[in-house]
Amino acid sequence: MSTVATEEIKLTRKDFVSDQTVRWCPGCGDYSILAQMQRILPETGVAKEKTVFISGIGCASRFPYYMNTYGIHSIHGRAPALATGLAIANPDLTVWVITGDGDGLSIGGNHLLHAIRRNVNLNIVLFNNRIYGLTKGQYSPTSRPGTVTKSSPMGSTEQPLNPIAVALAAEATFVARSIDSHPQHLAATLERTAEHQGASFLEIYQNCVIFNPNEWTDLSDRRNRDDSILYLEHGKHMIFGKDRDKGIRLNGFTPEVVSLDEVDLDEILVHDATSRPLASILGSMEFPDYPAAMGVIRDVRKPDYTGELMAQVETAQAQRGKGDLNQLYLAADLWTVEEREETEAREITPSSSDFDEMPITGLDEEYIDEMETPAEVLSDFQDLLVTSTLAALEPNVPITMGMRSSLARTIRQMNRHNIGCVLVTDEEDRLVGIFTEWDVLNRVAGLVDDLAQQRISDYMTRDPMSLKDDLPIAHALNLMSLHGFRHLPLVDDNGQPTGIISFRDVVGYLNEALEEE
Amino acid sequence: MNLQTDLKSEHVSHLVVSGFAQVPAGTPVRDTLARMRADRRVVCLVVDGEEPAAVQLVGIFTERDVMRKVVDVPGMLDRPVDEAMTLDPITIGPDASAADALRLMDEHHVRNLPVVDGTGKLLGIMTHQAIIQFLADRYPVEVLNRPIDPEQFPRKAEGG
Ligand SMILES: Cc1ncc(C[n+]2csc(CCOP(=O)(O)OP(=O)(O)O)c2C)c(N)n1
Ligand code: SF4
Ligand SMILES: [Mg+2]
């Protein structure tokens, strides 16, 4: 096995971000999934060049473009088939399959089943938005009955598939579920998905803000999601609720929600991720009758496909020697395909402009109107998040230091101005680094003997993330929440710092602006 | 629905609060720093008592204290942390609202509030980060799911 030198290097999130323009709609849950994937991959310790993302077709399936790893945006529904081939041909690779509810369960349902059934060493992630997003909102095999879409104007009459039940039907050795709007849970579940050997199947409830925006609101609403989600932990009681006052009990074969005030703890089910029957029960619990089970539903170890297959190949080769593919070809009947004379031109089919002129009936218009009514009016607060720019925060003028400044001088300046962070600039006053109290604690205090002898440029964080002040406040909150930044530098078009904002500024501003109304 | 009503109805116990490092009172500053670095924490709680269940919070020592009282003060590294910490820090209970926490932080100009329950158990540190996380989860469409680079535009049209 070849070991690439870069495996030794500790990768960061940035290493997994590609230079491609992301083409999802603003607000799409796919962004959250991408951000968490980029966050957890460095933790798994797998080298970039050993990681491959394979997808089919759909919005979800655009994922490989945005990962700075190998990737294949393949054929509709066929990602599991391609991935199977790759995983077998090169077992050193970590292969992720990214698919949607349409890609993975309509056209590709078959391929998905067999990759799981064979326990190929793949991490399969299915983004379930219960709609075809890319083709502009037709119902999908996971859409609930009654869902009104462009292809089901009177409401779908079909029984939806439950992806967890599908994976279990194929005896998946790892089955899990998470949701885009809960980044911590999502990150932890992605990590578990990556760890498992064999086929891992993760369903992510994903919000399509454009064509199916209300699908997951009960589960994603931060104020009461803990009442609608059962977070699973192996070996722990199935307790849930914002105040952890409800539990799941079995009544015969049927699970039921009980209040912990009325039922003893030992009657409450304990999660066992190795139990096949329990996995089926958890998979069958549909919201709103039950809380949605989230986390690892099943996790067992079975021989993976590549290992078994290659062992057979080895045995066969030991008995009969290495085969010759060329000879195998030539052993069959051979014939030559000749070019044929062009026959008469085919009949021309109507062009799309002919269709445009066909009249739409009144009935259709009625349904289209119904579908296009906006679902929810934005609150003032949501409005403020996206319409106010960072300039409105009237950011503080930043304290900057030249790269050659000494640590002693820098720390004196920070204490004089009573600030927790300074920006570091080059000869042309462009932002090149940031130096914070955490750096002082982490790399300086008690570790550096003579503060006057050391340059700030050796202790700062290089190339910090910076923003222009015409971006909405929501963007700053996004970066602060994803990366835990407390301060964000603002720069102008030349890259020169113009301000610095902290979370305190943001909250202060939002509070005040709302009071004025 | 606005920020204040949101934060008033959310208990501190329902937020994702930060973790902390912990050392017994009397620990030299040098060892306290080592503990904080090892745990990757910007806050260290200084406690009395051995039993994990019965420790008593006596002070809080943060990166700010490192900045102002340690890094360029000769001899501090070998002094006990008690001399650089804030004695009897302001704390908050798990049932207080997020709005109360923000108000306390604002009034007392602190950014780390130890969360302590009725029995004196230390549960975590309430910071602005917990509020950011709450807002991101509460408004995923506006905050969480933003284009990564808002200034990047596609150069050509493309399907699939
Ligand atoms: C062979 C083929 N059939 C149909 C289509 C049209 N098509 C493109 S994407 C898609 C469904 C995508 O749904 P899903 O996998 O749920 O992805 P989403 O866009 O919702 O993320 C369909 C039917 C196609 N591109 N190719
Ligand atoms: S159409 Fe829906 S799923 Fe596709 S990018 Fe837009 S919001 Fe996301
Ligand atoms: Mg879909």
H/E element holding A284? Answer: helix A276-284
pLDDT tens for chain B, 160 residues long, are 577 888 899 999 999 999 999 999 999 999 999 999 999 999 999 999 877 677 899 999 999 999 999 999 999 999 999 999 999 999 999 999 999 999 999 899 999 999 999 999 999 999 988 998 999 999 999 999 988 777 666 666 665 5
Q: Which tokens go with A352? A: 């799309």
- List the domains of chain B with CATH numbers: 3-143 (3.10.580.10)
Query: Which region holds residue A178: left if phi is over 0, alpha if psi is between -120 and 50, else beta?
Result: beta
User: Is-contact B29 B76, C-beta < 8 A?
Assistant: yes
With CB atoms and an 8 Å threshold, state whether A181 touches B66: no
User: Is-contact A167 A175, C-beta < 8 A?
Assistant: yes
Looking at residue B158, its pLDDT comes to 64
- List the domains of chain A with CATH numbers: 8-236+271-299 (3.40.50.970), 382-512 (3.10.580.10)
Q: Read off the amino acid at residue A96.
A: W
Looking at residue A1, its pLDDT comes to 40
pLDDT reading at A509 higher than 90: no
User: Is-contact A126 A175, C-beta < 8 A?
Assistant: no
- Full DSSP string of A368-409: HHHHHS-S-PPPHHHHHHHHSBGGGG-PBPPPEEETT-BHHH
**Range A206-215 average pLDDT:** 95
> How far, in Å, is the centroid of ligand 1 from the Cα of A219?
25
pLDDT tens sequence across A78-99: 999 999 999 999 999 999 999 9
What is the C-alpha to C-alpha distance for residues A414 and A445, in angstroms, rounded to an integer? 15
Looking at residue A350, its pLDDT comes to 55
Looking at residue A212, its pLDDT comes to 96
Share of chain A above pLDDT 90, in %: 77
Looking at residue A5, its pLDDT comes to 45
Task: Assess whether the previous peptide bond of A288 is cis (omega < 30° from 0).
Answer: yes
Lowest mean pLDDT of A232-241, A249-258, A419-428, A502-511, name the range.
Answer: A502-511
A266: how many CB neighbours lie within 10 A of its CB?
Answer: 7
User: Is-contact A228 A291, C-beta < 8 A?
Assistant: yes
Looking at residue A380, its pLDDT comes to 82
Helix (H, G, I), strand (E, B) or coil at A209: coil
Sign of the alpha-carbon torsion through A111, A112, A118, A123: positive
| CA B107 from centroid of its chain's CA atoms | 16
Q: Give the residue with greater pLDDT, A393 vs A111.
A: A111
pLDDT reading at A366 higher than 60: no
Looking at residue A500, its pLDDT comes to 95
Question: Which ligand 2 atom sits nearest the alpha carbon of residue A127?
Answer: 3
With CB atoms and an 8 Å threshold, state whether A503 touches B129: yes
Q: Which residue has the tokens 């078994």?
A: A308
pLDDT reading at A302 higher than 50: yes
What burial letters (b/e) apply to A233-255, b meaning 16+ CB within 10 Å? eeeebbbbbeeeebbbeeeeeeb
pLDDT reading at A513 higher than 80: no
Q: Give the residue with greater pLDDT, A350 vs A13.
A: A13
pLDDT reading at A271 higher than 80: yes
Interchain contact A379–B (C-beta under 8 A): yes
With CB atoms and an 8 Å threshold, state whether B137 touches A182: yes
pLDDT reading at A3 higher than 50: no
DSSP type of residue A267: G
- A346's CB contacts (< 8 A; 6+ apart) are none
Round the average pLDDT of chain A to a whole number and report it.
91
A423 CB within 6 A, ligand 1: no
Q: Give the residue with greater pLDDT, A348 vs A388.
A: A388
**Taking CB atoms and a 6 Å cutoff, what residues make up the pocket around ligand 2?**
A 24-25, 28, 30, 59, 129, 133-134, 208-211
According to DSSP, the residues that pair with A123 across neighbouring strands are A96, A200
If contacts are CB pairs under 8 Å, which of residues 17-76 in chain B contact chain A?
Answer: 29-30, 33, 36-37, 42, 63-64, 66-68, 70-72
Looking at residue B95, its pLDDT comes to 95
pLDDT tens sequence across A416-450: 999 999 999 999 999 999 999 999 999 999 999 89
Which ligand is closest to the CA of A210, given by its number? 2
pLDDT reading at A361 higher than 80: no
Q: Read off the amino acid at residue A44.
A: T
According to DSSP, the residues that pair with A294 across neighbouring strands are A231
> How far, in Å, is the centroid of ligand 3 from the Cα of A382?
26
pLDDT tens sequence across A65-80: 999 999 999 999 999 9
Which residues in chain B have Cβ-Cβ distances shorter than 8 Å to A411? 67, 71-72
> Minimal Cα distance from B150: which residue of A?
A471
> How far, in Å, is the centroid of ligand 2 from the Cα of A126?
14
| CA A34 from centroid of its chain's CA atoms | 4
pLDDT band of A343, cuts 50, 70, 90: low
Looking at residue B105, its pLDDT comes to 92
Lowest mean pLDDT of A138-142, A188-192, A505-509, name the range.
Answer: A505-509
pLDDT reading at A8 higher than 80: no
- Full DSSP string of chain B: --HHHHHHTSBGGGS--B--EEEETT-BHHHHHHHHHHHT-SEEEEEE-SSGGG-EEEEEEEHHHIIIIITTSTTGGGSBGGGTSEES---B-TTSBHHHHHHHHHHTT-S-EEEE-TT--EEEEE-HHHHHHHHHHHSIIIIIT--SSTT---SS----
Helix (H, G, I), strand (E, B) or coil at A233: coil
A129 CB within 6 A, ligand 1: yes
* E runs forming strands in A6-121: 51-55, 70-73, 94-100
What is the C-alpha to C-alpha distance for residues A150 and A159, in angstroms, rounded to an integer? 18
What is the C-alpha to C-alpha distance for residues A281 and A286, in angstroms, rounded to an integer? 10
| CA A504 from centroid of its chain's CA atoms | 29
Which residues in chain A have Cβ-Cβ distances shorter than 8 Å to B141? 27, 207, 209, 213, 382
Q: C-alpha distances in angstroms, A448 versus A407, A419, A440, B39, B72?
A: 9, 21, 10, 20, 10
Packing angle, helices B128-138 and A473-483, rounded to 10:
110
**Range A278-298 average pLDDT:** 96
With CB atoms and an 8 Å threshold, state whether B71 touches A411: yes
**Range A279-285 average pLDDT:** 97
- Full DSSP string of A415-483: HHHT-SEEEEE-TT--EEEEEEHHHIIIIITTT-S-GGGSBGGGTSEES---B-TTSBHHHHHHHHHHH
**Range A318-333 average pLDDT:** 86
What is the C-alpha to C-alpha distance for residues A405 and A235, in angstroms, rounded to an integer? 55
> Minimal Cα distance from B76: which residue of A?
A446
**Range A257-262 average pLDDT:** 96
